[in-house]
Amino acid sequence: MDTIIETTRGTVKVIRFNKPQKKNAIDGDMYLRVTKILNTAASDDEVSMVVLTGTGDFYSSGNDYSVSRPEGAWLQILGDFIKAFITFPKLLIAIVNGPAIGIAATTLALCDMVFASENAYFYTPFSKLQITAEGGSTLTFPRLIGQRKAAEMLLFNHKMTAKEGLESGFINRVYKPEELQSKAWEKIQEILKSFNKMIPMSTKCIRDGVWNSDLPVSSLVKGDIVHIKAGDVIPADIRIIESKGVVLCCGDLTALGRVAGLAARLQPEPSPLAREIRRFMRYMSIWALSLGVIIATASIILGYPFIQTTIFVIGMIVANIPEGLQPTITASLTLTAQRMVKKNCLVKNLEAIEALGAVTTICSDKTGTLTKNKMCVRHIWIWDRKYSVADPDFESTLQVNQALKAIKICGALCSTAVILPNGDIQGDASETAILNFLCAYDDPVTASVHLNKRLSRYVVVIKGAPECILSRCTAVVMENGNVNITNEVKKAADNATEDLANTGERVLAFADLILDPKEFPMSFDFDTEEINFPLEGLRLIGIIGLKDPPRDEVRQAIERVRAAGIRVMMVTGDHPATARAVAIEVGIATTAACHVITGNDLRNMTSDLLYLTLEKHHEIVFARTSPTQKLQIVEACQRQGSVVAVTGDGVNDAPALRRADIGISMGITGSQVSKQTADIILMDDNFATIVLGIEEGRKIFDNLKKSVCYILISNVPEVLPVFMFILFSIPLPLGVMTILCIDLGTDMWPAVSLSYEKAEADVMERPPRHGDPLVSARMLRLVYGHLGLIEFAAGMYAYFTVMAEHGFYPADLFGIRERWDNEAVNDVRDSLGQEWTYAERKELERACQATYFIAVVITQMMNGVICKTRFNSIRDVGMKNHVLNIGLLFELVLAYGLCYLPGINNFFCTYPLRLQWLFLAIPFSALLLAFGEFRKYCIRKKLFGGWYNEMTFY
Amino acid sequence: MQRNVKLEEFEIETKPSRSSERGKVRNFIYDGNTGAFLGRTPESWGKIIIFYIVFYASLVALFAICMVTFHQQFINPRVPRLQLDRGLIGTSPGLGFRPLPPDVRSTLIWYKGTSYESYKYWEDQLKEFLSVYKMKGQTAGAGQNIFNCDFRNPPPPGKVCDVDIRGWEPCIEENHFSFHKSSPCIFLKLNRIYGWRPEFFNDTQHLPQEMPVELQMQIKNITEYNRDYANMVWVSCQGETPADKENVGVVRYLPYPGFPGYFYPYQNAEGYLSPLVAVHLVRPKTGIVINIECRAWAKNIKYDRREKLGVVHFEVMIE
């Protein structure tokens, strides 16, 4: 029986350990076979990856000790085996169908991907066998699973289960045993598909005098001579010699590589949200701790035992720390990120999405983001007027125009671009655009006629910068024949050129000359190096204006962004005129006189001057800038206190992306480095997507505010009872356990679900939050001065009611604490002369605290409704947030559960309440709603001279 | 800082004034330019104060309305709304003792039999506790409510039964509650629960098994004399351990070994006094701590030693 089965599936080589009777233990012969297969596959172009798996329910139990080993060569065999794994250049995938032990487990660490079944485990008992750890595992394991875990595996014979392996990163996926093969192969097919997209860039080069037509770019070395032509990506830093280039530097040593390195060294600022949370948490902690200290002091002075004091302090701190904040933040960010992915915006750094909401300045590059990154023919000038291609009448008006025909011939012939069999056009951007244009307005049949004509006589066609072409022309094509060029014609042509150039178009003039067949017979040998044919006395055909047109949605998007008070600046490497024209077209600049700063200007500016310029001019276009200057601009903006978003796609944008508060890269055109550096990737390269991001970001911050407000409100009825207890000596109205129930139980879900709220009406109409903290004085005033007190009143009302129903009337409660809490006093007299034992009193206290707790819960439910909106009326918004609705219901059910479930209520010191005690907080809930709506109404209408806005609009 | 208005228009770029920290604080407390005090102008302060007065007034008003409504609807100043089992006080009154030790957490009655200074504290405690019993004639409205009750003659509504302090003899103030003779008197009382009626162990033939034999004997003795006397909440005190039982010696209960039934139910009548039982430890062993446990006996008094239901514990040590 064959112990190694080698099969091929498409381009995938499959190696199967097939010795199920011995749990696929590997013997010498098997080692040699696998080594050989791997080494052959490594150089076999037909193989794209190798898959390892085993027969039966074991992957492999490692070394087969039962078979005698070939003496001497043994170590060599093992070494070669491991080496084959390490040096294998292609994808190596293991489908682990069962336990992998010893060397089988260590080679898994050398595979690129590992899929395992649920019953697999990984076991490397080297120390038990008293042998050295095999297969480089001392190196690979720590890298994969960390030093500690690796030590556990390699030194302490820890048996790692598949689940654990997945968690620690040892393997990629875990599947059910019966699904393993099908699911793993599904994945492999996926990988194979993506291979087609990842065709490695190759280049043509001469190395050691040998011509390599298809060398991967990554294997270029210094000294190679590469051939490049128009449209190629330059594979390395090269020095051009004639049309070839000698490689000087490659990889990280290239200019681009150094820029990428610069990005890695820059430390990004912490996100505005992180800063905000840190600040808030610091203040909150100080507040909670100082309250704790006050309570502790008071408690000690009142003679409470240490344990009781500790419980008070813990209660105080727990009451004040907003525990719900972190889950809320995570929930909002994750939710938004998911939503953004659907809108073609991949959020890599979750906090960036919120930062986008705080953005005050966007530095956008031009090509690809604002524009389509595709040259198009926009205008054609044919004697004696300009035609716009976008004009719907364009085709019909020029149908019979001689000049258009001529320009088509000229454009098609005078081009090095080629049309590939699949219809794509490869070549210089301008020529591609021209060919594209011709394809759209011409049909291939006429093109062949031109070729026939050309057979009878030679035509010189020429295109180039208008000033060069014009000087060589003596005639111009008009609608009905040629006319000699006069000054008047020349001037008209010059005007047209200037006109087009000013709108940011790239201008090309076309001319031709029909050569006399007698002078240049068919056999004439043309030489372009030493020109042996006339290039004077040409016939001017026309001028074409090319342009990279702005994306359709961009203008509207920029309008919205500007309405949201965000400044948009363009930073581009393009010509100032082009940049300015695009800026005007997309709305970055509103007047033609917008401030354009070129890279040269920037170089001569001191940082103070740049600062002042940024202050003075709102609309700025940076043109002809270098990557480092982009960084400089970002830093200048940040010095002004702006929160800066930067878009960029090139490697050279990486430093600026890193430095910016939000780096945005492009999914289609973006380079790998820029994507790695960026916080957000726009999968459709579309600027308009940023607007969505800003809206979402602002919404997150708004919703966070709502959550924080909601969480903080319940602090008031949690803290004040302790003060009542200390100052007025009444029995404690709310216990520590019940505080925990509120903070960690009932408040949690509604607080988190507030992040599901929709954006408010004004979200994109107000300026970016600048110095607007998460928790403002206004919010604190509202929380501690208004809403919280209403809840406290509700709680106290509930407390006094229960006390009174049992015979302790409010007036008699004040000052009762000392006897009440004294375990030795078994006859505390109530207002009706009844005498209460300690146990009875404590039970009553629990009932009161539970009623207080329910009152807080019921008012908090109403608060959830109030906190839904900051500005709009709840009537307009409605209760459409079902997560919140369910959350409020859950809050109530949980509270009742805490009170009524036997055992649970004992643990949490609550009490099964009488029915009517559940409704005591209703009037206060109504007051909360009335006050909340009244306040929001005043805020909307700016009543009382904007009093409420100033006081409580957080 | 006065500003020159004419100059102002030429000041394109004014440097931020570098005021010192102290200056800032001073400016915050009182800003001469705006007249602001603590960061607000008087007008602003006025507004804010009015606003908060209105807000808090309405909050307090709502609170008051709720409280008053509730009280008027549901609360009777003389009758608890939730009585007995409907409320949390339950139907099993707790037993208490006097005098209470000065340390609230302790239940040890400790004194030197020979030293007046030493037992003065306990005597004072009892004097204070019993003063209402002594001065009942003088307390407002109490005198005329007193009704001479006995077992056949329970008080009519609104009247209260008299507690005869003479019945405690020799546990009376004039006798220093017998503390000076190293045979102290401890007073037991049953907690008042509105409307609570005891269910007496009045069938002398079927007294509970766990009832101390001495008490059973006493009950039989008393009821032999008058059957009505069976309607009492019986009381028994004994040492907790066999050693304590020995040390405690003879215990006398004055006037009866129980609380007479005609004191119940308690209905918050003006001048009501809880019946007391004086427990006279006639000759307890001195120089040793004696753990004493007293228990009240009625069919509806629950007993749980660990939960301290229906039972009271104290220690006595006489040097």
pLDDT per residue as tens digits for the range A268-324 = 677 778 888 888 888 888 988 998 898 888 888 877 778 878 878 888 888 888 887
Tokens matching residue B49: 């104060």
Span A367-388, mean pLDDT?
79
A805 alpha-carbon distance from chain centroid: 59
Identify the pLDDT of residue A860: 92
Residue B98, H or E segment: strand B95-98
Alpha-carbon distance B214 to A927, whole Å? 65
User: Each residue of B274-303: pLDDT tens digit?
Assistant: 888 888 888 888 888 888 888 888 888 888
Question: Taking a C-beta distance cutoff of 8 angstroms, is the pair A704, A689 a contact?
Answer: no
Span A474-478, mean pLDDT?
81
Residue B49, H or E segment: helix B42-74
Measure Cα distances from B317 to A131, A435, B238, B314 in Å: 77, 116, 15, 10
Q: Give percent of chain B with pLDDT exceeding 70.
A: 88
User: Each residue of A537-548: pLDDT tens digit?
Assistant: 888 888 888 888
Span A494-508, mean pLDDT?
81
Alpha-carbon distance B33 to B164, whole Å? 81
Span A838-846, mean pLDDT?
88
Q: For residue A457, name the pLDDT band (cuts at 50, 70, 90).
A: low
Question: Taking a C-beta distance cutoff of 8 angstroms, is the pair A764, A692 a contact?
Answer: no
Identify the pLDDT of residue A449: 34
Residues of chain A neighbouring B85 (CB-CB closer than 8 A): none
Q: Cβ contact (<8 Å) for B62 and A924?
A: yes
Q: Is the pLDDT of residue A717 over 80?
A: yes
Distance from CA of B93 to the nearest CA of A (A): 8
Please state, rounded to an integer, the average pLDDT across all residues of chain A: 82
Q: Centre a 10 Å sphere on the Cβ of residue A296 and count the other Cβ atoms it contains.
A: 17
Alpha-carbon distance B16 to B9, whole Å? 16
Identify the pLDDT of residue A647: 87
Span A576-596, mean pLDDT?
84
Identify the pLDDT of residue B20: 66
Tokens matching residue A413: 């012939």
Distance from CA of B288 to the nearest CA of A (A): 22
Alpha-carbon distance A464 to A50, whole Å? 53
Closest CA to A752 of A273, A325, A339, A338: A325
Is B49 an interface residue toward A (CB < 8 Å)? no
Hey, which bits of A410-484 come out as E strands? 418-419, 425-426, 459-464, 473-478, 481-484
The pairing of beta strand B146-147 with beta strand B160-161: parallel
- Helix locations, A67-197, DSSP H: 74-87, 103-108, 126-129, 137-145, 147-155, 162-168, 180-197
Identify the pLDDT of residue A795: 92
Residue type, B12: I
Q: Centre a 10 Å sphere on the Cβ of residue A579 and count the other Cβ atoms it contains.
A: 27
Is B71 an interface residue toward A (CB < 8 Å)? yes
What is the Cβ-side half-sphere exposure of residue A178, based on CA atoms within 13 angstroms? 0
Verify whether residue A365 is a known catalytic residue: yes
Identify the pLDDT of residue A195: 58
Residue of A802, A834, A948, A949 for testing the chain B interface, max B β-carbons within 10 Å: A834
Identify the pLDDT of residue B14: 43
Q: Is the pLDDT of residue A447 over 50?
A: no
Span A611-633, mean pLDDT?
84
- Which among A27, A64, A80, A365 is annotated as catalytic? A365
Residue linked to tokens 């040593």: A253
Q: Is the pLDDT of residue A2 over 60?
A: yes
Q: Give percent of chain B with pLDDT exceeding 90.
A: 0
Span A777-793, mean pLDDT?
88
Alpha-carbon distance B151 to B153, whole Å? 5
Identify the pLDDT of residue A197: 47
pTM of the model: 0.70
Question: Taking a C-beta distance cutoff of 8 angstroms, is the pair A557, A688 a contact?
Answer: yes
Measure Cα distances from A121 to A15, A53, A127, A187 in Å: 20, 14, 18, 21
- Which of the 8 DSSP states describes residue B88? S
Q: Is the pLDDT of residue A656 over 90?
A: no
Q: Cβ contact (<8 Å) for B59 and A806?
A: no
Span B186-205, mean pLDDT?
83
Q: Cβ contact (<8 Å) for A839 and B55?
A: no
Identify the pLDDT of residue B11: 38
Question: Taking a C-beta distance cutoff of 8 angstroms, is the pair A657, A665 a contact?
Answer: yes
Q: Cβ contact (<8 Å) for A793 and B62?
A: yes
User: Each residue of B248-268: pLDDT tens digit?
Assistant: 888 888 788 888 887 888 888
Strand order in the sheet with B251-254: B95-98, B185-190, B276-281, B251-254
Identify the pLDDT of residue A448: 32
Identify the pLDDT of residue A854: 92
Residue A799, H or E segment: helix A788-805
Identify the pLDDT of residue B67: 85
Q: Is the pLDDT of residue A757 over 70?
A: yes
Q: Cβ contact (<8 Å) for A824 and B312?
A: no
Q: Give percent of chain A with pLDDT exceeding 90.
A: 6
Residue linked to tokens 């060069």: A468
Span A90-107, mean pLDDT?
89
Q: For residue A623, name the pLDDT band (cuts at 50, 70, 90).
A: confident
Identify the pLDDT of residue A72: 67
Please state, rounded to an integer, the average pLDDT across all residues of chain B: 77
Alpha-carbon distance B51 to B53, whole Å? 5
Nearest-5° Cα angle at A929, A925 to A933: 170
Distance from CA of A797 to the nearest CA of B (A): 7
What is the Cβ-side half-sphere exposure of residue A332, based on CA atoms within 13 angstroms? 33
- Among A13-22, A378-387, A945-954, the least confident range: A945-954
| Cβ-nearest to B55 among A786, A807, A822 | A786
A628 alpha-carbon distance from chain centroid: 24
| Cβ-nearest to B67 among A800, A829, A836 | A800
Q: For residue A194, name the pLDDT band (cuts at 50, 70, 90).
A: low
Identify the pLDDT of residue A445: 31
Is A835 an interface residue toward B (CB < 8 Å)? yes
- Helix locations, A661-714, DSSP H: 672-677, 687-713
Span B19-41, mean pLDDT?
71
Q: For residue B213, name the pLDDT band (cuts at 50, 70, 90).
A: confident
Span A49-73, mean pLDDT?
81
- Which of the 8 DSSP states describes residue B218? H
Identify the pLDDT of residue B6: 41
Identify the pLDDT of residue A848: 92
Q: Is the pLDDT of residue B8 over 60?
A: no
DSSP assignments along A28-55, one per residue: HHHHHHHHHHHHHHHH-TT--EEEEEES
Q: Is the pLDDT of residue A555 over 60?
A: yes
Measure Cα distances from A336 to A332, A682, A685, A868 in Å: 6, 15, 19, 18
Measure Cα distances from A104 to A54, A123, A901, B46 in Å: 11, 9, 54, 82
Q: For residue A395, name the pLDDT band (cuts at 50, 70, 90).
A: low
Span A508-513, mean pLDDT?
82
Q: Which residue has the higher pLDDT, B171 or A391?
A: B171
The pairing of beta strand B251-254 with beta strand B276-281: antiparallel
Alpha-carbon distance A203 to A200, whole Å? 10
Q: For residue A855, name the pLDDT band (cuts at 50, 70, 90).
A: very high
Alpha-carbon distance A832 to B191, whole Å? 12
Report the complex ipTM: 0.83
Question: Taking a C-beta distance cutoff of 8 angstroms, is the pair A14, A93 a contact?
Answer: no
Measure Cα distances from A52 to A3, A9, A59, A96 in Å: 13, 13, 9, 8
Identify the pLDDT of residue A852: 92
- Which of the 8 DSSP states describes residue A240? E
Question: Taking a C-beta distance cutoff of 8 angstroms, is the pair A510, A410 a contact?
Answer: yes
Contacts for A552 with CB less than 8 Å, ≥ 6 apart: none
